[in-house]
Homo-oligomer: A and B are copies of this chain.
Amino acid sequence: MAKEPVRVLVTGAAGQIGYALVPMIARGVMLGADQPVILHMLDIPPAAEALNGVKMELVDAAFPLLKGVVATTDVVEACTGVNIAVMVGGFPRKEGMERKDVMSKNVSIYKSQATALEQHAAPNCKVLVVANPANTNALILKEFAPSIPAKNITCLTRLDHNRALGQISEKLNVQVSDVKNVIIWGNHSSTQYPDVNHATVKTPSGEKPVRELVKDDAWLNGEFITTVQQRGAAIIKARKLSSALSAASAACDHIRDWVLGTPEGTWVSMGVYSDGSYNAPAGVIYSFPVTCRNGEWTIVQGLAIDEFSRKKLDLTGAELTEEKELAYSCLS
């Protein structure tokens, strides 16, 4: 017997990431090949015609799993009954804008979307914030939607996690599916810390630590980190547009592993409400290594943190605390 459809909201759906994301959702990449979906797509009024064009294309693709499409500029209609919310919409940084201005615009958006979600989403709705500043947008959403469990509000660092896997696979010339257990700590920004100290590669003679195989600590502690941190800018330089394909794909991975569970022996990176694990600041959205089971994430505890890593974890934590203060100052 076919499953009941799951309702998935995508905000900012008329944009680049939305356009890459919706066909992935409609094909079952996000929730499985046997899970029917209904798409809710939200964007702002200037994008209404383009959004309707996306809806038309979704109809034109005759996706077997897609059991309905709602395209709207009304946030209440968009949020009604949704089980999953992927928040791609936000105010992009424009040339000449100060950090405070970007923060201020986004804080307003996420405060109002928090209310709509809280009042209209289905119970236990899982939320993924993609729009930057992702961690702080997610925090604002959490603060202004108090009846949504804090554990249900996350932000995307899976893109950085996947980028780190990709860099290791290229360095070692191995299949990316044989690399696992990198960690992205902290903020989805240039202070993120891509950590390979617990990452492994599957080889003919079993799982081996990445550090052992790479044999180049200078690269792992230097260029590897900056490459992953700055990869977004590198994509923009090459494409003249930001990463839509890989961001959309990572959003699907984030939700899929959260809902369907992580494979045995494997963790992933998710920006989640911090409980102070690993001495990260509590009360911010901080990216940790997590496993997922029965629709719940759990921080992987007990991993050794060396001195080099400690400094990196603290640096990105300090930035998140500053962002939280800046966000709150925008609201008062």
Chain A residues near B (Cβ < 8 Å): 19-20, 22-24, 27, 29, 33, 49-50, 52-54, 56-64, 66-67, 159, 162-163, 165-166, 169-170, 175-177, 231, 234-235, 237-240, 243-246, 248-250, 253
A159 touching B245, Cβ below 8 Å = no
B29 touching A177, Cβ below 8 Å = no
**In the bound complex, what is the Cα–Cα distance between A52 and B248 (angstroms)?**
19
B170 touching A59, Cβ below 8 Å = yes
B20 touching A240, Cβ below 8 Å = no
B23 touching A245, Cβ below 8 Å = yes
Select one of B23, B50, B235, B253 contacting A57, CB under 8 A. B235
A24 touching B27, Cβ below 8 Å = yes
Residues of chain B with a CB closer than 8 A to A67's CB: 175
B176 touching A63, Cβ below 8 Å = yes
**In the bound complex, what is the Cα–Cα distance between A162 and B56 (angstroms)?**
12
Shortest beta-carbon distance from A66 to chain B in Å: 8
- Known contacts A23-B20, A27-B29, A64-B176: A240-B50 contact under CB 8 Å: yes
B162 touching A245, Cβ below 8 Å = no
A249 touching B63, Cβ below 8 Å = yes
Residues of chain B with a CB closer than 8 A to A248's CB: 23
**In the bound complex, what is the Cα–Cα distance between A237 and B52 (angstroms)?**
11
B246 touching A61, Cβ below 8 Å = yes
Shortest beta-carbon distance from A73 to chain B in Å: 14
**At the interface, is chain A mostly helix, strand, loop or mixed?**
helix
This chain: copies in complex: 2
A246 touching B163, Cβ below 8 Å = no
Residues of chain B with a CB closer than 8 A to A29's CB: 27
B53 touching A176, Cβ below 8 Å = no
**In the bound complex, what is the Cα–Cα distance between A169 and B58 (angstroms)?**
13
**In the bound complex, what is the Cα–Cα distance between A52 and B235 (angstroms)?**
9
Shortest beta-carbon distance from A44 to chain B in Å: 16
Select one of B64, B175, B246 contacting A60, CB under 8 A. B246
A249 touching B23, Cβ below 8 Å = yes
B56 touching A234, Cβ below 8 Å = yes
A54 touching B245, Cβ below 8 Å = yes
Residues of chain B with a CB closer than 8 A to A54's CB: 239, 245
Per CB-CB distance, the 6 closest pairs between chain A and chain B, nearest first, are: A53-B238, A53-B239, A62-B162, A64-B177, A60-B246, A61-B249
**In the bound complex, what is the Cα–Cα distance between A23 and B66 (angstroms)?**
19
- Known contacts A50-B238, A239-B53: A60-B23 contact under CB 8 Å: no
**In the bound complex, what is the Cα–Cα distance between A167 and B161 (angstroms)?**
41
**In the bound complex, what is the Cα–Cα distance between A58 and B247 (angstroms)?**
11
Q: Which of A57, A62, A175 has the most CB of B within 10 A?
A: A62
Residues of chain B with a CB closer than 8 A to A244's CB: 19
**In the bound complex, what is the Cα–Cα distance between A24 and B20 (angstroms)?**
10
Residues of chain B with a CB closer than 8 A to A162's CB: 60-62
B245 touching A165, Cβ below 8 Å = no
